[in-house]
């Protein structure tokens, strides 16, 4: 996964390895921030049901690493698209010879 922080938080790019995902309420074995539980207890309109992603590694991308990624269908550089969209999920591929982590 490629993640981008909002501009007001530095706009940095991160790369993460997603090992698996799960849809529904979190299982008791899941690890997530304590404030998630606090939000549920404070509001009847909030639910922890959703998509949960198990991330095994996350690190900041440095230099021109983002330039090795292109949109999977259009081939446009991911950097150009991710900076101009409000879409939360984009499908991209990286250069075959690029070592991700």
Number of domains present in the structure of the chain = 1
Structural domain contains residue 99:
no
User: In the predicted model, is pLDDT for residue 2 greater than 70?
Assistant: yes
pLDDT confidence of residue 44: 62
Question: What tokens does 19 get?
Answer: 């090992």
* SS3 letters across the chain: CEEECCHHHCCCEEEEEEEEEEEECCCCCCCCCHHHHHHHHHCCCCCCCEEEEEEEEEEECCCCHHHHEEECCCCCEHHHHHCCCCCCCCCEEECCCCCCC
62 lies in some domain: yes
In a domain, 51, yes or no: yes
Determine the pLDDT at residue 9: 87
The model's pLDDT over 31-89, given as tens digits with 9 standing for 90+, comes to 888 887 787 677 667 777 888 888 888 989 888 888 999 988 999 998 888 888 877 77
Instruction: State the average pLDDT over residues 96-100.
Output: 78
Q: Residue 37's domain spans which residues?
A: 2-94
Structural domain contains residue 101: no
Rounded Cα gap, residues 4 and 90, in angstroms: 11
Residue position matching structure tokens 């539980």: 37
pLDDT confidence of residue 76:
92
Residue 100 falls within a domain, yes or no?
no
């Amino acid at each position: 996964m490629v993640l981008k922080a909002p501009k007001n938080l530095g706009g940095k790019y991160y790369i993460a390895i997603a090992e698996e995902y799960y849809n529904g309420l979190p299982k008791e074995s899941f690890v997530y921030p304590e404030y998630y539980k606090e939000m549920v207890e404070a509001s009847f309109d909030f639910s922890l049901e959703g998509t949960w992603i198990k991330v095994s590694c996350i690190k900041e991308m440095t230099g021109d690493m983002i330039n090795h990624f292109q949109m999977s269908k259009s081939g446009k550089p991911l950097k150009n698209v991710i900076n101009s969209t409000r879409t939360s999920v984009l499908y991209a591929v990286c250069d075959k010879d690029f070592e991700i982590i």
